[in-house]
Amino acid sequence: MSEDCALPKMAGYFYPSDKLELDKYLNDFFKGEPLVNRKPVSLIVPHAGYIFSGEIAGKAFNILNHYKDDFDTIVVVGPSHHVLIDKPAVLNKDYILPNGKLKRDEILIEQLVKEDLVEINDEAHKKEHSVEVELPFICRINPNFKIVDIITGPYEQDSVTKLIDALFKIPRTLIIISSDLSHFNLYEKAKEIDKSTIKNVLALNEDDIQPDDACGSIGIRALIKVAKKYMLKPKVLGYCNSGDKTSNKLQVVGYASFGFFNS
């Protein structure tokens, strides 16, 4: 396997490229006690610019921060916004970030490739932000975590569900689904759509979560299907939309974070 490293494409755009500035953002997001004092089995977190969704993502990552000793590997599953792919795609490289370096879990990646659950596909990751935006949070929590970064396309519901189910069987591994909620609606309409999506996640009702409700709907639906199998209980950790952070209420994007816990 290649020993090349992936440089941060989104630093300076979605999150600060300067380490001190990035550390300030992250320290603010990790202030206070976690909202839930239980070890998470899985998380759903948004992936927009930190000024928009960082606070909401931080509510989920703050829980992981308090249980970091319980995990060795973090798997991040995010949607493709640029490339059409028909199979979950892994970038098999370590990551160099403004706040450190994260190494890939080579053994797990090899296992997933061998079982035909993912494929190595650099092109899928070339312009993608949905995984990378989560990595500085993870690196801040524990730079010794191993990473598996997976991008999904729009036509792979069964394969992603099968993949998530397989990952649940890997000890000391946390699965993070990276997804924003509704996109480019009027402020009040966005809140209405997102309220329904949050209700569906909490009710473990994957059938009513569609691509227009969440860009990472494939991953969310897969997680819910597997969560029902393992009798997990979801909890919403935070919600806002971009209209809460800026004066633009005309085309807003929704953000929510969730934790999934053993019953």
Q: Write out pLDDT tens, residues 116-126.
A: 999 999 888 88
Distance in angstroms between the alpha carbons of the first and the last residue of the chain:
39
How large a percentage of the chain has pLDDT more than 90?
88
Residues 137-182 have pLDDT tens digits of 999 999 999 999 999 998 789 999 999 999 999 999 999 999 999 9
Rounded to 5°, the CA angle 240-13-76 comes to 65
Instruction: State how far the Cα of 256 lies from the Cα of 239, in Å rounded to an integer.
Output: 4
pLDDT at 3: 55
Write down the domain spans for the chain: 5-262
Q: Kindly compute the dihedral angle of the four CA atoms of residues 27, 29, 34, 40, in this order, to the nearest 10 degrees.
A: -100
How large a percentage of the chain has pLDDT more than 70?
99
- Rounded to 10 deg, the angle between the 50-66 and 19-29 helix axes is 60
Weakest mean pLDDT among 94-103, 152-161, 234-243: 152-161
Work out the mean pLDDT of the chain and round it to a whole number: 95
Are 85 and 151 spatial neighbours (Cβ–Cβ below 8 Å)?
Answer: yes
**What Rg do the C-alpha atoms of the chain give, in angstroms?**
17
Instruction: Name, in order, each residue with C-beta under 8 angstroms of 192's C-beta and a sequence gap of 6 or more.
Output: none
CA 248 to centroid of chain Cα atoms: 25
Class of domain 5-262: alpha beta
pLDDT at 1: 41
pLDDT at 2: 44
Mean pLDDT on 189-205: 98
pLDDT at 5: 86
- Rounded to 10 deg, the angle between the 217-229 and 157-168 helix axes is 50
Which residue(s) pair with 262 in the sheet? 232
**Continuous segment of H or E residues that includes residue 64:** helix 50-66
Q: How many residues does the chain have?
A: 263
Specify burial of residue 4 (Cβ count, 10 A radius: 0-12, 13-18, 19+).
Answer: exposed
The first and second tokens of residue 75, run together, are 């798997």
- pTM here is 0.96
Output helix, strand, coil percentages for the chain, rounded to the nearest 5. 40, 25, 35
CA 40 to centroid of chain Cα atoms: 14
